[in-house]
Amino acid sequence: MKTINLPPYAPILMESTRAIGYSLEAAIADIIDNSIAADASTVKLNFFPVEKEYVSILDDGVGMDGDEITKAMQYGSKNPEDKRASKDLGRFGLGLKTASLSQCRLLTVISKVGDDYQCRQWDLDYVFKTGEWSLKALERDEYSDFPQFDELAKQSSGTLVIWQKLDRMQIGCADFTASMGRKMDDVREHLSLVYHRYLSGEKGLANLSIFLNNLPIEPKDPFLVKKSQRPMDDEKLYIRERKCNVDVRAYILPHTSRLTNEELRALGGKEGFRRNQGFYVYRNKRLLVWGTWFNMQRKGELSKLVRVQVDVPNELDDLWTLDIKKSSAIPPEQVKNNLRTIVERLTETGKRTWTYRGKKQTSNKMVHVWDRLKTNNGGYLYEINRDHPVIQNYIMRHQDQKNEIEVLLRQIENNIPLDSLYIDQTNDVKIENDREYTDKEIICALQGILDTIPQEMHLDMLGKLLDTEPFCNYRQEIDDAFKKGELK
């Protein structure tokens, strides 16, 4: 047997890999991964959408010498099976090239170490002309006027990546300037989420700052850690054959009624809470995949507050079938089996949070304003609770109007705007009816009820009201109001 060596034809292979499917934001994140691996503390992303359009990414990392930058520009510069440093966010040795050239036809990389500068360039038009793997090595006078080079020159070390001939980014754009602005807004949102643990200075991570056209990108915490519930202890799933752990931490977000409008927008994003529920998989604290249950369960309204942080070391890349773009990962079966058990416990907790609006209940015999009854045909009926102390008291004091009151209550029950409520809830619109009362509002409401009945009935009514919503959630505030003489 003999083998025939068939070297790939450079122009065709390079053009083919442009179609891997990178989005702009995923492509930029792939470049920033390299900056993090190079110990960068600052990354400056700039875009210029008019005349000689470009996108540049400048970091202050350790930089590369001549051999290193040439290897970095080589396709398949890493063996995906090699053991890598814990902070290494790459795997295939393709990211810098495939990510960049998915957006442009001219990729220039300039790196500095001390006083030494090195520049390499892939120009797809030149590669097509030569028909070879024609990587250009530019001299100082050929790149000194490139965008952001002056900024690199001020640093002791670092790397500058420049995209020009932005052909893919201009496809279908009637107004590229406006389109570029919108795309960069998406980039800002993406980076603020993907690197939120780096940007927030999480313990154990070096501080990282990312700027977009000189404006800092703020971290976007998908778990709202300071306000969310931790329904279970953290778990470590041990992968025996690799002798490493997958760390799992679960969160239940607060009910939407307890979130500010800003928090609603940040946590829901463009796709809403329902689409963003599920696992958030991180490799070396960098977010890879989010908003999925990996087919362990369907996304439902009652589980949309559940989010699970899963930390995976890069030793498990092959087991998670991580793709080149770092936008897809599938857990190995042994991990999936453990996660499935966790999901079952969590979704039940999430349902309770949604059903009871995330408020702390102080009585197991709480009386609700609305009753939810199961009917004979398998459906549900919502009725106003006639035994609610306030309603009961009103009916007793107006016995001569009992029939009219019942007609009114039935009209209210039969005309609940269910369609509108469903649309608003699924779109994560904040329903102002469902909110926390201020102390003053709850005290005024309680005093208003007491004022409608004789003084000798106050104590009995108060006892009943403390077991009804919303007053059962404000026992301490009501007790304090009596002590201060605000309630009589």
pLDDT reading at 365 higher than 70: no
Choose the weakest-confidence range: 133-137, 194-198, 362-366: 362-366
Which pLDDT band, with edges at 50, 70 and 90, does 87 fall under? low
3-state secondary structure 244-261: EEEEEEEEECCCHHHCCH
Q: Where are the domains of the chain?
A: 10-216, 235-355, 370-483
pLDDT reading at 282 higher than 90: yes
pLDDT of the residue at 91:
42
| Residue 288 backbone phi and psi in degrees, to 5 | -105, -55
**What mean pLDDT comes out for the span 310-339?**
76
**What mean pLDDT comes out for the span 189-214?**
93
pLDDT reading at 61 higher than 90: yes
Pairing type for strands 54-59 and 157-164 reads antiparallel
Report how far residue 460's alpha carbon sits from residue 363's, in angstroms, rounded to the nearest whole number. 17
Which pLDDT band, with edges at 50, 70 and 90, does 327 fall under? low
Report the candidate in 30, 41, 38 with the shortest Cα–Cα distance to residue 87.
Answer: 38
Choose the weakest-confidence range: 9-18, 98-107, 182-191: 9-18
| Tens of pLDDT, residues 376-409 | 777 788 888 888 888 888 888 888 888 888 888 8
Cα dist. 324→17, 36, 317 in Å?
A: 11, 17, 11
| Residue 157 backbone phi and psi in degrees, to 5 | -160, 165
pTM, to two decimals? 0.74
pLDDT reading at 296 higher than 60: yes
User: Cβ neighbours of residue 452 under 8 Å, at least 6 residues apart?
Assistant: 393, 394, 397
CB atoms within 10 A of CB 442: 18
Helix (H) or strand (E) holding 282: strand 278-283
pLDDT of the residue at 390:
84
| Tens of pLDDT, residues 400-446 | 888 888 888 889 888 888 777 767 766 666 677 766 778 788 888 88
Pairing type for strands 209-212 and 42-48 reads parallel
pLDDT of the residue at 4:
66
Q: Taking a C-beta distance cutoff of 8 angstroms, is the pair 79, 174 a contact? A: no
pLDDT of the residue at 3:
60
Q: 10-216 has which fold?
A: Heat Shock Protein 90 (3.30.565)
pLDDT reading at 468 higher than 70: yes
Report how far residue 109's alpha carbon sits from residue 264's, in angstroms, rounded to the nearest whole number. 40
pLDDT of the residue at 376:
79
Report how far residue 161's alpha carbon sits from residue 169's, in angstroms, rounded to the nearest whole number. 17
pLDDT reading at 90 higher than 70: no
Of residues 94 and 167, the one with the higher pLDDT is 167
User: Cβ neighbours of residue 178 under 8 Å, at least 6 residues apart?
Assistant: none
| Tens of pLDDT, residues 107-151 | 999 999 999 999 999 999 999 999 888 999 999 999 999 999 999
Q: What is the separation of C-alpha 245 from the centre of its chain, rounded to a whole number of angstroms?
A: 23
User: Cβ neighbours of residue 26 under 8 Å, at least 6 residues apart?
Assistant: 99, 190, 325, 326, 327
Of residues 258 and 285, the one with the higher pLDDT is 285
pLDDT of the residue at 361:
41
Task: Provide the 3-class DSSP secondary structure of residue 113.
Answer: strand
Of residues 8 and 468, the one with the higher pLDDT is 468
% of the chain with per-residue pLDDT over 90: 34
Average pLDDT, the chain: 83
Alpha helices in 102-195 (DSSP H): 124-130, 140-143, 149-153, 176-194
Report the candidate in 132, 114, 115, 111 with the shortest Cα–Cα distance to residue 123.
Answer: 132
Report how far residue 119's alpha carbon sits from residue 138's, in angstroms, rounded to the nearest whole number. 5
For residue 41, what are its two tokens?
């503390």
